[in-house]
Amino acid sequence: MRVKSGQFSVEFMIVITFLLIALATISMPMYNRARADAQKASDLADAREAASALANALNTVYAGSVGSKQTIEYWLPKGVAAVYADADIDGVDTDNDGIPDNPPRNGCLDVQIWFDLNGDNIPELGNREAVVVVETILPSRWDENGNPKQDWENQCPKIEDENLRVDITHRTLHQVTITYVYSAGYAQPRRIAIVDNIIKVI
């Protein structure tokens, strides 16, 4: 019995179709996972760049003493839930026992950018993979051994990090002006004032 070429072509097309479906079933999840990992790496790189820019500006203003001022710009990626930089921020507590361990307290203030990894609009405190940490030269309220400093309010300037803005649902370009001021009427008279303007949203 002779096989017709049209029948062979139809059978070949059916076999190829099933092979392509099987290949797509296997490769699409791998592609999506690789894409998500690449996006996470890109977001962490953006956050590290932003934290470094902010830390460098804080260092410059602090080293320049009262009256110093600097304006910087940086991008924050989508998913950033919080940006911290004050005398309390020194080290990351990854086991939720109240004592930073990764990195531990060392007497220097950190700039920390925290991500929301599970979509609840809250920083993933305690998850070391959810934070970018950049150390500054500014003193924290702890000494280099992690013990509380005596009279730390007079040693550490108050950093107005509550003015640092985030938009968890968008990638944002920030223009931040940092000024070292002295105001006798405050509990911590030496302050680093921060004005954060979001100038572009993507």
Which CA distances in Å does 173 have to 67, 78, 201, 202?
26, 11, 7, 9
User: Higher-confidence residue: 96 or 170?
Assistant: 170
Using DSSP, state whether 23 is helix, strand or coil.
helix
Number of domains in the chain: 1
Q: Is residue 8 part of a domain?
A: no
pTM (2 d.p.): 0.84
Does any domain span residue 16?
no
Report the sign of the C-alpha dihedral through residues 134, 70, 80, 45, in that order. Answer: negative
Q: Which residues contact 158 (CB under 8 A, 6 or more apart)?
A: 86, 87, 186, 187, 188, 190, 191, 192
Q: Look up the domain containing 80 and give its range.
A: 33-201
pLDDT at 134: 96
Residue type, 81: A
For residue 63, being part of any structural domain is answered with yes
Q: Is residue 12 part of a domain?
A: no
Q: With a cut of 80, say whether residue 8 has pLDDT above it.
A: no
For residue 35, pLDDT beyond 60: yes
How much is the pLDDT for 5? 59
Write out the two tokens for 167: 């938009």
